[in-house]
Amino acid sequence: MSIPLPPSFTYRRIDVDGVGINCAVGGDGPPLLLLHGYPQTHVIWHRVAPLLLAEHTVVLTDLRGYGDSDKPASSDGDPEYAKRAMAADQLGVMAALGFDRFAVAGHDRGGRVAHRLALDAPGAVTALAVLDIVPTRHALDHADKDFGLGYFHWFFLAAGHGIPERLIGNDPEYWITTRMRARHHGGAEFDPAAVAEYVRCYSDPAAIAASCADYRAAAGIDLVHDSADAVAGNVVEAPLLALWGEHSFVGRSYDVLEVWRDYARTVSGAALPADHYLPEEAPGQVADALREFLAAEMIG
């Protein structure tokens, strides 16, 4: 099966301080960086990105550790997979493409990278959209039984001693497809070609190890960085759009806009008729929301 992106996207590999980042670029207009979540790749945007090409230069990347981007080995404390390091990759990609200011939208893990990018490079990020997340710090500070059951993978993937790597490595296709099916409700069905691409990429033991390091960093070094921002009073200065699934754990468990108002100056957003995988389940609504949000910010 081929990757379900139109041929108008051109693939490039960009080296950022020794880490190769896989990216696809298409369209014309103000730049928009789209970041994927777990356990996907840039392909999660295959239904949304083509709808934005008329108004934007759309940049799709694989986060470090995912897809066909490099997967640095993790060291003690997992600094290689801190969201700060992953955000710096994306800033470097956009600079290499000639964009010193751009909008960014991220789903799931990509939303956490985008959040960190907006904090660390406020002069570069013109607008931020986060899909089906609340901030990591808020989620972990308010974790309870329901969170532990609904988001058990946060704790499983963060476990040490190679436990999740070994167990997932025994049958990565089963792990990916069951996680995705469990968080899908009422929207468009997953494209088999996209799922096959996720399985191909995630079947690499280095990708499994990297994603576990990503989650360990979230429970460790990322919280250190997030807490430092909280103490300093740093919040996202760019306008922020939050979208979430009305059937998702996030939608059921948080007052999403109120949570984000503690982390950003200007917040808007809405629930969409989906579960977690908004770009695949509700692509038209995601594209419309992004288009309207970004158009308003350009006018403003």
Q: Of 42, 56, 107, 276, which residue is the catalytic one? A: 276
Q: In the annotation, is 115 catalytic?
A: no
Q: In the annotation, is 229 catalytic?
A: no
Q: Are 246 and 272 contacting, i.e. CB atoms less than 8 angstroms apart?
A: yes
Distances (CA, A) of 271 to 242, 267, 278: 8, 14, 10
User: To which residue do tokens 């990018």 refer?
Assistant: 117
Which H or E element spans position 11? strand 10-16
Q: Of 108, 214, 222, 275, which residue is the catalytic one? A: 108
Q: Which of 196, 274, 276 is nearest to 4 (CA)?
A: 196
The burial class, CB within 10 Å (0-12 / 13-18 / 19+), for 146 is exposed
| CB-CB neighbours of 152 under 10 Å | 10
Residues forming the active site: 108, 276
